[in-house]
Structure 1
Amino acid sequence: MIDYNVNINGLDVKANYSEDAVNNIFIPLLKKLTELQQAKGRRILVMLAAPPGAGKSTLVSFLEKLSKETEGVAEIQTIGMDGFHRRQEYLTSHTTVRDGQVIPMVKVKGAPETFDLELFKERIKKCLSEKECGWPVYDRTLHNPVDNVITITKDIVILEGNYLLLNESGWDELKAFADYTISVTADEKTLRDRLIARKALSGNSLEDATAFVDYSDMVNVKTCLTKSAKADLILQVLGTSDGRCDYEVLS
């Protein structure tokens, strides 16, 4: 196993990947994207969609590192959609409907309606049309996005997020921007365990973390697993709540 330690959105993450996944899935993927970019002769956008807790942010960060260390592949740059969370003050002052009840948006933070989809689309277009483009990130310690933390400069960009392949009005327009799509799936129990552990690391009690995950995050998990379009590459994550993981290709 290859250990990988990284800070994701303000939180330290410890993960590891099998040599089999690296050699037989990740490096061939990087080679494929390199060839695709060379054939198109312009910046390409790869969308990687996965449910909450699937380790997508850590995975794309690892792929970026791997691209810098692997001979014969182009360097990639990775970005996420989490920087388009609406700000905390917006979520606390606006409402949505869940199970027939009107509730503050902050109670379901992470649901599709709590993202600024129009701003997200505008920034994607800018990324594809300009040589350099600023990009926001989400800081889990601040509970808010921070703009222009990343400057996009590479010709292969992997964008990760929960709802990039969502088959719902507005969201279903995103796929048209992608040159290649990847989805990562996992069983619900693994995702729930990971989400509770991550929420607790943000300063919540285990009881509060569990309550939030079951009320909010798991709804989003089910949305991603059941309402997403088919990707060009589908990966199944095989793992545990402690960060150990492996992958297999489903199609």
Structure 2
Amino acid sequence: MKVMLTINGLVVEAHYSDKEIADVHLPLLRKLADRKTIPSHKRKIIFLSAPPGTGKSTLTAFWEYLARQDPLLPDIQTLPMDGFHHYNDWLEEHGLRPFKGAPETFNVDKLAKNLELIRDGDGEWPQYDRQRHDPIENAIRVMAPVVIVEGNWLLLDDDNWRSLEPYCDSSLFIQAPTDTLRERLIARKCAGGLSANEARAFYLRTDGPNVERVLAHSRPADITLTMTESGEYRFS
């Protein structure tokens, strides 16, 4: 299947085989959308954690699309974690601006408060502005009965990020070969205008350590997918 998806304001062409959709994506969505253990007045919150380069944004946009095509599935809404970056002024003050994207550069307390609010009713969610490189508050209206919060650090095994556990009804993790992620992330930076040397330097400074930290220090998820070298997904 070829489908055009809108991600961060850009239209992206995505491709998924019919076999992968039938064997992986639809069964997974039916499982994630199951609300048997969730009180009827509460929203189901799913954490999707994965290292950079695993295609989280495209994948979850595709899941939203699939859910809209299936009358047996509820609406599913993706909520990116990037809107909970600390503002650049705060990062500068704490010497963390060069490490933006690392777990220490996110406002976890603010994320917990937003999760608490949306669990019991409709609410607002911030979005990261890639032009201003800062969050925009209340940019997303949360309305779907099932939401997928996606980010790198949601299952990080430390006290700060473990504080989010009470808001997670189901968790999902994506594994991937580090060599594949390195190639994808360097290619992404080159496509964004960096030279090959600049892209490799960025990977060594930022993306590479984040990939290793996510893969090595994330808590086990309820469901794990593996992204193959070709970019397909399968159950682990």
Please, what TM-score do these two structures have when normalized by structure 2? 0.92
Equivalent pairs, count: 235
Q: Which of 153, 167, 171 is the matching residue for 1:163?
A: 153
Q: Residues 96-245 of structure 1: matches in 2 within 5 Å?
A: 105-129=96-120, 131-240=121-230, 245=231
The residue aligned with 2:84 is 84
Distance of 1:52 and 1:136 partners within structure 2: 20
Partner of 2:20: 21
Runs (4+) of structure 1 moved beyond 6 Å? none
Q: Residue 14 of structure 2 aligns to a residue in which SS?
A: strand
Q: Secondary structure at the match of 2:34?
A: helix
Q: Structure 2 regions of 5+ residues with no counterpart?
A: none
Instruction: Give the root-mean-square deviation of aligned CA atoms.
Output: 1.9
- Per mean C-alpha deviation after superposition, the further-off stretch among 65-74 and 17-26 is 17-26
Q: Could you tell me whether the CA contact under 8 Å between 1:184 and 1:235 is conserved in 2?
A: yes
CA distance in 2, matches of 1:110, 1:92: 14
Change over 3 Å in CA distance of 1:5–1:208 after alignment to 2: farther
Task: Tell me the distance in 2 between the aligned counterparts of 1:73 and 1:210.
Answer: 42
Q: Deviations over 1:13-70 (max 9, x none)?
A: 4432222221122111222233325863231101111001111111111101110011
Q: 1:80-111: CA deviations, max 9, x gaps? A: 1111112223323322xxxxxxxxx1211110
Greater shift after overlay, 197-206 or 17-26? 197-206
- Distance apart, 1:154 and its partner CA: 1.1
Deviation at 1:176, TM superposition (A): 2.4
Letter in 2 for 1:80: P
**What SS does the corresponding residue of 1:40 show, helix, strand or coil?**
coil
| Counterpart secondary structure, 2:234 | strand
Percent identity between matched residues is 37
Q: CA deviation at 1:238?
A: 1.2
Distance 1:162 1:128 in 2: 21
Q: What is the SS of the residue equivalent to 1:195? A: helix
Mapped contact 2:47–2:172 kept (Cα < 8 A):
yes
Distance 2:58 2:180 in 1: 16
The residue aligned with 1:5 is 4
Quick check: 1:181–1:233 contact (8 Å CA) kept in 2? yes
Decide whether aligned partners of structure 1 residues 200 and 149 sit closer, same or farther in structure 2, where only a CA change above 3 A counts: farther
Taking the aligned partners of 2:91 and 2:150, their CA distance within structure 1 comes to: 22
